[in-house]
Structure 1
Amino acid sequence: MQNSVQTITVLTAALLLGATAASALPIKSGNDKVQVQLYGEVDRAVMYADDGYQDKIFHVDNTHSETRVGLNGEVTATQCLTVGGNVELKWEANPARAVSMDEESISGEFAAELIEMYINTANAGKLSLGQGSTASDASSEVDLSGTDIIGNAGVADLGGGLSFYDAAVDGYSDLTADAVFHGGISAEGLGKINRVLYETRSFGGFTFGASAGEEEVVDFALSYAGEFNGNQLEAKAAWSNPGEGYNQINGSASLLLNSGLNFTVAASSKDVDNMPAYGDDPSFMYGKIGYKCDQLSSFGSTAVSVDYGIFNNADLLDAEQEATAIGVQFVQELSDYSTQLYAGYRAFSLEDNTGVDYEDISVVMAGARLSF
């Protein structure tokens, strides 16, 4: 354990040193055959939250796209074969998804996001081994609106740590926004774990993926990406079995018209029939309408959107429960500076059949992301 901590510490220092010197010196591998690329982003914001009882200002890291740094090493073995690896660490101090009225200061720490190697062939597809995306990762988060940095189907990434206030008893409930909207169902499918992932090459825009990971989890996904008459369409559908007695289905699609108008839909459902301790199957439906314009500003593209989501029994309680999330998003690209400025509003509402009068939660966040 101590050796692992020391290894991560040394790696972190090396990555940060590389980031500091990246503008002055190229990064060179010890092996001339390997091309190495340093990449990452810094994403910080100010968030204001009002839970109906009190309000507070937070200084946060944007959970929709966390601060991170990584290295990619790749060898072009032949014209049709590439071998590579990724090491990526994310760092969040005061995550926007975790801060609360009682805990506004959360120490930042590095956590492994990617530690994998892969073999990519022109005809046979790509095989990845190690910690990384599963086939179902982000399967309900396909989004071409240009505003997903501040709002997507993962609604609780903004203000998820805030608790619902019960006006009837004049006190906070045990339910946080994260528990209500994502506690029992995830827009990310199985997310990123230690796994083996196989992805086919594209066939007419379609790609199939399958992965098997630690604790006997498996998933499958079918993706599509295409363009017709200047319009872009992306979609993904996935089935996953986390090995905990249930199955989950995720899906999303996003259409960006050449006019800039765009539409995004997402949904997910979890089958908990084999889990008698839980109530009805949790599910959600989500939709977004947006407009993206490249000519509005000389700085870069400008994108605006509004979204709405309905989440049923997402925290797996026995009580029938319905929660809604409404959002408004704005993103301005600063192309010459590799930076995005963003602002967004999110409102959470919760109702259940016990008649509890929960106060709505409102969150506003504005910040910037620098990518390198």
Structure 2
Amino acid sequence: MTNVFKISSVAVALSALVAGPAAAEMKYDNGSGGSVLLYGQLSPAYVWVDDGVSTYSNLVDNGHSNSRVGLWVTQPVGQDTFTFNFETALGLRQSFAVSQNFTPKGVNWSRTFLRKIDFAYNSDQYGKVSFGLGSMATDGIAESDFGGTGMALYNGIGDAAGAFRFQPVSGIGATVPIGTVTASLDGGRRGRVRYDTPEFNGFRVAVAAGTEVLLANDDDFYDIALRYRTDVGTAKFKGGFGWSRRVRNGVNRDNTVGSMALELQSGLNFAVAAGNRHGGGDYTYGKIGYNANWISAGQTSLGIDYYDGNDFLVGGSSSGAMGIAIQQKIDRINTEVYMGYRTYELNDTATVYHDIDSLIVGARWKF
């Protein structure tokens, strides 16, 4: 009963935090067709975890979509467009960084919180060239999804509690972080050069080559991705498939991953994904959701998902996660409130581990 009261209290507090008047768009025109847009979001959350031995709770910044500020500069150049995008997270305590033995400082900004320093030139005829810190070609390729529960439930299993470790039932042996055995193999953001083709009959191809610029290593990255999006009658479909390579000290690590999503006119939606780390594990992921307009405040979304991984820890190991979530939009104040629950399991031939349960409650306010 105490936990229920605490969770309810936190939910009320988070809602109150964002329940102010909606901010006007902070956009400034330069008189020549160009503009500067300031934007951002606050994403506070409460996370509770039961690792089968003890329970833990923390106020965090939701790693599914963290608090951030950004700047968009847009300038037409004839029929083409030049853009510059700067974006950084605020450096708040991330949900995926908290574990049984470590709680980061409440605010501790470092360069790893930089998200984008991205210059781009876009031509409808020839495509788009991007340069700087930004998305590789496969960023988002594992996350095709029409469900509205992304703050608590999507194919980023480790974002809510990924540093918490599975505990051996015997109390002896290595503990294993959730995030290590629930990888989505999705692409990330690097210092890179990227090219996107123009869209052709719903298809678009992207290629990128980059290097790690935020961490103290010299990893190189290469990837290619194909995306497709279309409407089928009253239904919506999108999907993608990609291949990526990381080169570290002359050793290649290759990933192949793809995802698809479908939304029906009724609001019922489905998402599937699968990925393979060549020689290092594979997974499948499925999600069923429902988007409805039950109340005037905004869209209500429900979802349930399941993740099934193999060989990410050692050969013959298996990992799994199942989640359920609800997310509510409050359009008038550009806010979403949500609650999500997950249970995680890990099995290998040598060690028996306790299951882990997690609960996340929070709100995201965009400005």
**TM (normalized to structure 2)?**
0.86
Please say if 1:75 is aligned against 2:75.
Answer: yes
Distance verdict in 2 for CA 1:62–1:92, change over 3 Å: farther
Deviation at 1:118, TM superposition (A): 0.3
Counterpart of 1:93 in structure 2 is 92
Q: Which moved more, 1:171-180 or 1:235-244?
A: 171-180
Q: Which amino acid aligns with 1:291?
A: Y
Relative distance call for 1:32 and 1:300 in structure 2 (3 A) is: same
Q: CA deviation at 1:174?
A: 2.8
CA distance in 2, matches of 1:260, 1:96: 30
* 1:193-342 correspondence to structure 2 within 5 Å: 193-214=190-211, 215-243=219-247, 244-272=251-279, 281-294=280-293, 296-315=294-313, 317=314, 319-342=315-338
Map 1:1-372 onto structure 2 (within 5 A): 28=28, 34-78=34-78, 80-108=79-107, 109=109, 111-168=113-170, 170=171, 173-182=174-183, 186-189=184-187, 191-214=188-211, 215-243=219-247, 244-272=251-279, 281-294=280-293, 296-315=294-313, 317=314, 319-354=315-350, 356-372=351-367
Q: Which has the higher contact order (CA 8 A, sep 6+)?
A: 2
Measure, in 1, the Cα distance between the counterparts of 2:197 and 2:64: 28
Displacement of 1:116 in angstroms is 1.0
Q: CA deviation at 1:96?
A: 1.1
Unaligned runs of 5+ in 1: 1-21, 273-280
AA at the equivalent of 2:153: G
* Deviation sequence 1:62-119 (CA, Å, 0-9, x none): 10101111001010112x2001100100124221111112223434315210001000
For residues 102 and 31 of structure 1, do their structure 2 counterparts lie closer, same or farther at Cα, with a shift above 3 Å needed?
A: farther
The residue identity in structure 2 corresponding to 1:93 is L
CA–CA distance in 1 between the matches of 2:346 and 2:328? 32
Does the CA contact (< 8 Å) of 2:26 and 2:39 recur in 1?
no
Deviation by residue 1:216-249 (Cα, 9 ceiling, x = unmatched): 4211100011112221111010011112413210
Please, what TM-score do these two structures have when normalized by structure 1? Answer: 0.85
Aligned equivalents of 1:152, 1:24: Cα separation in 2: 30
1:200 maps to amino acid: T
CA distance in structure 1 between the partners assigned to 2:148 and 2:25 by the alignment: 32
Q: Secondary structure at the match of 2:321?
A: strand
Indicate if the aligned counterparts of 1:217 and 1:241 stay in contact, CA closer than 8 A. yes
Amino acid at match of 2:86: V
For the 8 Å contact 1:138–1:187, the answer to whether it is kept is no
Instruction: Provide structure 2 residue ranges, at least 5 long, that are not aligned to the other structure.
Output: 1-21, 212-218
Distance in 2 between the 1:100 and 1:300 partners?
35
For the residue of structure 1 that corresponds to 2:64, the secondary structure is helix
CA distance in 1, matches of 2:253, 2:63: 27
Q: Contact 1:141 / 1:187 at 8 angstroms: preserved in 2?
A: no
**Are the equivalent residues in 1 in contact too, given 2:284–2:307 (CA < 8 A)?**
yes
Displacement of 1:27: 5.3
Contact 1:227 1:233 in 2 (8 A): yes
Pairwise CA RMSD: 1.9
